[in-house]
Structures are given as C-alpha cells and as structure tokens.
Amino acid sequence: MQAYLDLLADIMANGADKSDRTGTGTRSVFGRQIRYDLANGFPLLTTKKLHFKSIAYELLWFLRGDTNIKYLKDHGVTIWDEWATPDGELGPVYGAQWRNWLGPDGKSYDQIQILIDGLRNKPDSRRHVVSGWNVAFLPDETVGPRENAAAGKMALPPCHVLYQFYVANGKLSCMMTQRSADCFLGVPYNQASVALLTHMLAQQCGLEVGELIMSFGDVHIYRNHFEQVELQLGRKPLTPPQLQINRLPESIFGYEFADFELVDYQAHRHIAGAVSV
C-alpha cells in the first residue's frame, strides 16, 4: 500500500490547485502509475478501513449490466445514490457499456463475454480490452446528473475508462486507466474493484493472478479532504489481506457476494470524507 500513500503525498506536495466541476476545488497532478503484485495480497487499504461489501456489490452490479440503483439499495449499498433519478436510474453507465454496447447497426455487444472468450481462446492477443467511454452517451455538461439520466444520457461519464488484460506465464494482469481519479475517496474503491474483477476472470480462465497496474490521467485530492489525507499519511500500512473465492460458478455472471472471503483484513479506523457531486 505504500505506492498509494506515496501518490497521496506526491499530490499534496507537487499538485496544482485547480477548480473543478463540483465547485469544491482540487489539488491535482497528471499522469501517474502505481503497481501491485496481486500474489502478495489483495490491495484493500489498511490505513483506513474500507467497506468491502460496497465494492463487491458494485462490481456484481456492473457485471449484471444494471444501471438502476435498486439492486445496490436492496443490498445496503448507497454509493451511487447522489446521482440517480427518483426512480433510481443512472442512464447507460458502466454496466450498460460493459454488457450492452450498442453498435451503429443497433446490435448489442457484450464486452465482458467477448473478453472472456478472447482470454480463453487467444491469450496472447493484444485486444483484451473493455471500454466504458462511449461518446454517444456522454452527459450534457450544461445540466445535472439526474437530468442527464432522465434524458437517456450517462448521469456521470466513466472515470475508469479502459481495462486492458494481459496473459503471460499462466498469470492474468490488468492495467486500468482512469481519466479522473479522486485519490482519497475513489481510488481505494477502484483499485479493490479491479483487483476483484481480475481474480474472478483469472479463476474463470484457469489462470493465476499477476499484476494490477493503475494508470491515472488527472489524479487529485479534493480541498475538503486535505485534513483527512494528512491523517492517513501519518498511519503505518498493515499487512494486506488475502482474497479467497470459495466457489467456481459456471460463468463470470454467476458470482455472489457470499463467494468472496477476505482473510486477515486488519485496518486502521475508517476516515470519513464528503462526496463532491
């Protein structure tokens, strides 16, 4: 976890103070990368306790192709509430693009199934890519998230825009690219989510896990999180937990939250921070 803490410190020391869409303001750097060897542990932060249930259920929600928060709410997860319409709609966000990318002919493409077929049948391909950046459905910046969702646009454009997978020596690695990365609140969730996805894909394809590479464009800390970041930087990282998957479903779409077990997760107390909408 030291790489993540080093990134926080880099932003605080070297970042440019910038305005942003939410009006909160950020301190930001551009073009950074951190790496984790997933064989050495699951990258769930130990310098502040995270709610793994929210991370896992959000990923399962993506994989369902779902874009309504009802599934999340039914499982006690509230992380998308601020952007949804009164009916719970978010527009064609991640799940829709992953599972139901619409081509110019109106045909629907399941990027996740295409990815798995490629990993199994052509592991050396350089085309193991899943993209969330569908220009046709990006939100109108002149109106708010709920108005965009009601109009059939994305409530928010994807932050983690591209996943690329790589197979070598029987191991599956992933590089995830984020155009915009909230380093205090968002990145800890994002890196755990993509690590979980990599474990699931590896299991489905008969592979071991390799590296997780997080590549960032604009990586920032919101101004109202500076105090929390300083608190976190004063804490010593603990040994990361291990992830155990207790069942092999017939497909990537058959996992349930009960299949995942975190072994020996110890962390410092949670540090709260307001979400900028």
CA–CA dist 90, 149 (Å, integer): 5
**Helices marked H in the chain:** 2-14, 52-64, 70-74, 94-99, 111-121, 145-150, 186-204, 226-233
Q: Quick check: helix, strand or coil at residue 259?
A: helix
CB atoms within 10 A of CB 252: 17
| Three-state SS at 225 | helix
DSSP-derived 3-state class of residue 140: coil
Catalytic residue among 159, 174, 183, 205: 159
Per-position DSSP letters for 164-183, written without gaps between them: EEEEETTEEEEEEEEEEEET
| Catalytic (active site) residue 159 | yes
Measure the CA–CA gap between 36 and 4, rounded to whole angstroms.
10
Compute the Cα dihedral for 113, 114, 120, 123 and give only its sign: negative
Q: Determine contact, residues 133/162, Cβ cutoff 8 Å.
A: yes
Q: What are phi and psi of 86, to 5 degrees?
A: -55, -25
Catalytic residues: 159
